[in-house]
Each structure stands twice: as C-alpha cells, then as structure tokens.
Amino acid sequence: MSKGKTILFLSSTTHIFIDSFSIGIAIVIAEIFGKAQKYIDVGFILASFTIATAIAEPLWGFISDITQKRGFIVSMGLLGASFFFSLFPFYSFFPFSSVLYLSIVSLLTGLFAGTYHSVATTLLNENVSQEKRGFFQGINNAGGSLGRMAAPFVLSLLIVKVSFFSAFLPYIFLGIPVGVISLFLYPKIKTFSSNRFSAKKWVSFVDRFIILLMIISFLRTAFFLTAINFLPSFLIGFKKFDSLKSGYIMTFVLASGIIAQPLGGKISDYSNRSLFMTILLFASGFSFMLFIFSPFGIGLIFLAFSFFSTLMTFPILFAIIGDEIPKENMGFLTGLVSGAGGLSAATFQIASGIISERFSPTTALFVLSLFPLLSAVASLFLRSKPK
C-alpha cells in the first residue's frame, strides 16, 4: 500500500470517531436537557466542545509543524477525546452544577478532538499529489460523515433500548483501542523532511487568501455544526419526537456525507475548486430555507440536500489549502482556517439557544440559513490555483 493510501486509511478510520463526538454530545445532551427545552444549557455545553476544538486546532497544527510528529498527535487526540467523552454519564455524581461538569468534560473532549482537522488533513495534503488531493480529502472526510451518520442512530438506540450509560461503550471499547493501535502505526510514516516551520513564513502567508478562507470556514461551519448539533434538541423539544425517532432523522440527513464528500472532492479535481464551492454553498443556504418553511416530510428532503451540498465543500476547502500553502507551515494555517469555523460555531450555538428561548427555534434556524449564503458570497472573491 502506498504512503498516501496508508495515511488515508488511518486518517479516515480515526475520522469516524473524531467527527462523531460533536453530534454524540448533541444526542446525549438532548436526552438530558432537550425534553425540558433548556436550549441555553444545551447551547452552552455544545459551545464548550466547539470553542475548545477551535482553539486547539491551530495550536496542535503549530506543534505538528515544529515537531513533525503529526501521526502521533492525531493518535493521542483520539485517545484523549474518547476517554473524556466516556466521562459524560457521571454528571449526576458531580457535587455542583451538572451543566458545569458537562461543560468541562465537553471542553476536554474538544481539546483532544481538535488535533484532527489541522493535523491529519495536513498529513494527507503533504503526501498526495494535487490532481488527487480533492478525492483523497473526500474519502478522508467520508470517514467523518460515517461517524456523524452512525452516532445518532447507535447512541439513540442504545439510550432507548439499553441505558444512557451504554451509549458511551462504543468509545470505551472501540475508540480507545483504535487510538492505541494507530499510535503504533502513524509514527512510522515520515512527513516532510525539509524546510522546517518558520514563524516569519507563516506570518507572511496570513494574507488576503488565508483571511478569505477563514471567513468562508467561519460562516459555513457556523451553519453546519450549529445546525446538526441544535437539531436533536429542536426535534425532541419543539417537534416532540422521542430520542429514537430524532436519531433516525439525524442519521437520514447526515448519511449523504459518505457520498457527498468524495464526490465533491473528485469533481473539484477536474474543475475550478473555488467556483464549485461557491455554487454548493448557495445551494445549501437556499435548501435549508426551504426545509424551514416546508411541511416536515418534504422539508427533510431539502434538509438532506442542504447538508449534502455543505458536506461536498469540506474536502474542497482542505484541497485548496493543500494547493496553496507550503508544507512546513500547513499545519498551523490549516488550524487557523478550521479553527475559525469552530469558533464561529461555538458562538452561534450559544446564540441559537438564546434566540430559540427568546423567540422560537424556527427563528434560530432561519438565521442559520443565512450563513452558507454569506459564505458563498465570500468565496466569490477566492481564486484557487489552476490545476
């Protein structure tokens, strides 16, 4: 197996768990607070995870640029995130506020999960040629989509059919062992061998191009992460669905990512990446609006299409980074771009909770629908390197 394919296998497998954490937290928090419609508490706990991830991504990217131990960092991230996520069910034993306990555990989970998008993405980018980069990033991200798709179904099923505690067993018996195994495989892969990290160089690269990427990531990720994390509480608290039905719905609308991400990456390998991403972001925003104002059954189709379009953009943005940014600075700058998205999502997860309680959940979702449209406008000014 070639080096690029080996990295792809390891990173996509790890990605299954990493991307399941945010939606996994949303599922278990909805079970605790969603029925009581405590949307502000939900938003605060979700934001703790996302803020930690947003801050950690450039930090871990910076460390990986200096140490060149990208594989080791990714493996330790999965180990740490799986461990802290497994502490969620013990909130009832915390002597003070359960919200405080859950926020701390959520933050620690996010701190370790934040190793992934800046470091593993860079590891793949620097070992795959430009003409294959979009497709490889798409396959890698499909692992994340599999995690996001499986988590609502598996965790909701375990909560309803077995117990609340059982929902965390997959991370104890699968996530931690996968982290241990990859710990011994990743470090054997050599990354770039020259041009070590240069502070002067990465400062010079934080220019109009990087700022535009950060804005696009900021707006798009604010929409996507806030939407998928807020929807379980919306379905349980506002639509009055039970946990299992909510899990089925989330699985349905997120399942498309397994196809969407490789497809989006592959098409971008043969087209103008930035223009294609612009079209997808416009489609996502308008489809989400149609979901809000359509009958629920038809609306689910629009919701699935909105997420499908959004998910197609993730490998494209990472491929653009790989096309444009030097390897020795790629970890940190990738972390800046992905971290900007996480930071915005954290802000609007809290804001969505406040808007939902002050106005209505529908109003919060409508505000979210504007974000991919604004992201599309920003991407109109992006000019990616021709292939």
Q: Does residue 283 surpass a pLDDT of 50? A: yes
Amino acid at 71: G
Non-local CB neighbours of 32 within 8 Å, separated by 6+ positions = 91, 98, 102
Residue with tokens 């990295």: 7
What share of the chain has pLDDT > 70, as a percent?
88
- In the prediction, which pLDDT does 81 show? 94
Q: Which pLDDT belongs to residue 194? A: 47
Which conformational region is residue 376 in: left (phi greater than 0), alpha (psi within -120 to 50 degrees), or beta? alpha
Domains and CATH numbers, the chain: 3-187+205-379 (1.20.1250.20)
Q: Are 315 and 220 in contact (CB under 8 A)?
A: no
More confident residue, 187 or 183: 183
Predicted TM-score of the model (pTM): 0.77
Write out pLDDT tens, residues 201-237.
555 555 678 889 989 998 998 898 888 877 777 777 7
> How far is the first Cα of the chain from the last one, in angstroms, to the nearest whole number?
26
Mean pLDDT of the chain: 83
Rounded Cα distance, 323 and 366, in Å: 34
pLDDT digit string (tens) for 324-342? 777 777 888 888 888 887 7
DSSP code, position 120 = I
**What's the rounded mean pLDDT across residues 46-55?**
86
Please report the pLDDT score of residue 274 as a whole number.
92
Cα separation, 251 vs 213, in Å, equals: 29
CA torsion sign, 123 to 126 to 129 to 130? positive
Say how far apart CA 249 and CA 255 lie, in whole Å.
10
DSSP 139-200: HHHHHHHHHHHHHHHHHHHHHHHT-TGGGGHHIIIIIHHHHHHHHHHGGGS----SS---HH
- The tokens for 214 are 């950060």
Pinpoint the alpha helices (H) of the chain.
3-18, 20-33, 39-67, 70-85, 98-113, 121-125, 130-161, 169-170, 176-185, 199-205, 208-233, 243-254, 257-269, 273-293, 296-324, 327-358, 361-379
- Considering only residues 277 and 142, tell me which one the structure prediction assigns the higher pLDDT: 277
For residue 268, pLDDT over 90 is answered with yes
Average pLDDT of the residues in 75-89 = 92
Q: In terms of C-beta distances under 8 Å and separation of at least 24 residues, what long-range contacts does 33-38 make, across chains too?
A: 33/233, 34/232, 34/233, 34/236, 34/237, 35/236, 35/237, 36/237, 37/233, 37/237, 37/238, 37/357
pLDDT attached to residue 51: 86
Q: What is the pLDDT of residue 87?
A: 92
Greatest Cα pair distance, the chain, in angstroms, is 58
Region 86-103 average pLDDT: 82
Q: What is the pLDDT of residue 37?
A: 56
Residue 281 has pLDDT above 90, yes or no: yes
| Tens-place pLDDT, residues 151-171 | 878 888 888 888 888 888 988
- Distance of alpha carbon 385 from alpha carbon 271, whole angstroms: 11
> CA separation (Å) from 267 to 200, 239, 312, 316, 336?
35, 37, 10, 9, 25
**Cα separation, 44 vs 52, whole angstroms:** 12
